[in-house]
A = this chain, B = another copy of it.
Amino acid sequence: MKANVMMNRALSIRTKNKSTPSKGHGRGRGFTFRSLRESVQPELSRKLFRLIKLENDLIHTHEAAGRERTAIATQLSEWGEQTSDEAVNDISDKIGVILSEMGGLEETYVNSLDLSRTHLKMIRDTERSVQPSRDGKSKLYDEFQKLKAKEPQSARLVLLEQELVRAEAENLVAEAQLTNVTRQKLKEAYDVEFTAIIERAEKQIILAKHGRRLLELLDDKALSPGDVRMPYENGAQARQVLNDAEDDLKEWQPEHHHKAVSENGSETSKGKSPVEPSA
Chain A residues engaging chain B, CB cutoff 8 angstroms: 1-3, 5-14, 18, 21-22, 25-30, 35, 39, 41, 47-48, 50-51, 54-55, 57-58, 61-62, 64-65, 68-79, 81-89, 91-97, 100-105, 107-108, 111, 169, 172-173, 175-176, 179-180, 182-184, 186-187, 190-191, 194-195, 197-198, 200-202, 204-205, 207-209, 211-213, 215-220, 222-237, 239-240, 242, 245-246, 249-250, 257, 259-264, 267-272, 274, 279
Contact = CB atoms under 8 A, between A and B. Distances in A.
A235 B14 CA distance: 16
A7 B104 CA distance: 8
Contact of A41 (B28, B73, B82, B271): B82
B61 A79 contact: no
B204 A197 contact: yes
Contact of A229 (B26, B186, B224): B26
A7 B267 CA distance: 48
Contacts of A274: 228, 231
Given A93-B12, A197-B102, A234-B264, A220 B269 contact: no
A70 B26 CA distance: 28
Number of chain copies forming the complex:
2
B259 A5 contact: no
Contacts of A237: 263, 267
A82 B47 contact: yes
A77 B48 CA distance: 10
A103 B88 CA distance: 35
A215 B231 contact: no
A240 B205 CA distance: 28
A116 to B, nearest CB: 11
Of A22, A54, A268, chain B has the most CB atoms within 10 Å of the CB of A54
Contacts of A176: 223-227
